Amino acid sequence: MRFLVVDDDERVALLLSKKLAAYGECVLAGSGEDALARFAECYDAGQPFQAVFMDIKMPGMDGHEVVRRMRELESRRGKNPLESFKLVMISAFSDPKNVCQSFFQGQADAFVAKADIKDSLVRELKAIKLI
């Protein structure tokens, strides 16, 4: 399995990649622009990501916009939406607006607060049948 971890906080990205290492390969991106480039490159090389772990608040392009563009890229290349990558939104903010936007606009499969990564990440991934 291949995971794309997107977070401008390197400590969080490293924590996620450490927690995910037992389940697959992690590719890290520190910005929305970097994430889009890596996503497209891997998709076009026939090595798409099975899951994307996306921080919401980042400088420049926020996570919601990055996800929208990733979904558009898949759609333009003819990907069946039912076979799209699983999306796990990661944020220090768990306010209703961000949570709702993650699920309804970004089609997120799960939402994990950064403060809960150590305790709830694996449980959430099992709940969405990613691992």
CATH of the domain at 45: 3.40.50.2300
Q: How far apart are CA 24 and CA 47, in angstroms?
A: 13
pLDDT digits (tens, 9 = 90+) for 42-86: 999 999 999 999 998 899 999 989 999 999 999 999 898 888 999
Q: How far apart are CA 29 and CA 2, in angstroms?
A: 13
Question: What is the extent of the structural domain holding 42?
Answer: 2-127
Q: How many domains does one find in the chain? A: 1
pLDDT digits (tens, 9 = 90+) for 80-122: 888 899 999 898 866 666 555 555 555 789 989 898 899 899 9
Phi and psi torsions of 91, nearest 5°: -155, 150
pLDDT computed for residue 82 by the predictor: 82
Tell whether the model's pLDDT for residue 20 goes beyond 90: yes
Residue 31's identity, in one-letter code, is S
pTM: 0.90
**Residue 30 pLDDT class (50, 70, 90 cuts):** very high
